[in-house]
Amino acid sequence: MAMQTLGGTALKRFHRGFRRAHIAEHTISVVLQSVQYAMNVGSIFRICDAVQVESLILTGITPTPENETVLKVGRGKDRTVPWRYEAEATKPLAELKAEGHRVFALEITENAQPYYRVKWPDKVCLVAGHEDHGITRSTLLQCDDAVFVPMWGKGLSLNVHVALAVVLFHIRYLELRGEV
């Protein structure tokens, strides 16, 4: 039997059927701390839509959807992903912790764990930082743990939106397998 790609209504039905059979169980929020490049932010909107995050919080110098590149790359996902802007990460992280979220920095620190070794709690907040400088020390102090994506090649890191996608899809995949 030859395979064909799905499009239009058939593609929508395919995804709707999958979602009905596989309900997302984890409550996931994402905080972007001064992610500078609009292309990354637009991509993160699409990723957050794909994994159904509860909230996306943009802080610092992170461009918002009013930015033309965020809009273009995000392909309208700013309308499907609940988001807000805060000048600093401090307040939203405190609120998320008060709501029961465990806060994980997506950052290489001396005690960071590979993302696949974490027993992910029901309420998760992932914090991603600036492409060159990472997450600030003051924000790291608010995080409960740090996770990283291991690198086998010569590069030291992935692009911020790619690393975030790896971890977010991993959490959703573990749900499908019943491992979290």
* Domains parsed from the chain with CATH numbers: 23-177 (3.40.1280.10)
Per-residue pLDDT at 156: 85
Does residue 71 surpass a pLDDT of 60? Answer: yes
Cα separation, 85 vs 20, in Å, equals: 31
pLDDT tens digits, 120-156: 999 999 999 999 999 999 999 999 999 999 999 998 8
Confidence of residue 174 (pLDDT cuts 50, 70, 90): confident
Per-residue pLDDT at 55: 97
Confidence of residue 2 (pLDDT cuts 50, 70, 90): confident
**Arithmetic mean of pLDDT over the chain:** 92
Confidence of residue 16 (pLDDT cuts 50, 70, 90): confident
Does residue 15 surpass a pLDDT of 80? Answer: no
What number of H helices and E strands is found in the chain?
6, 7
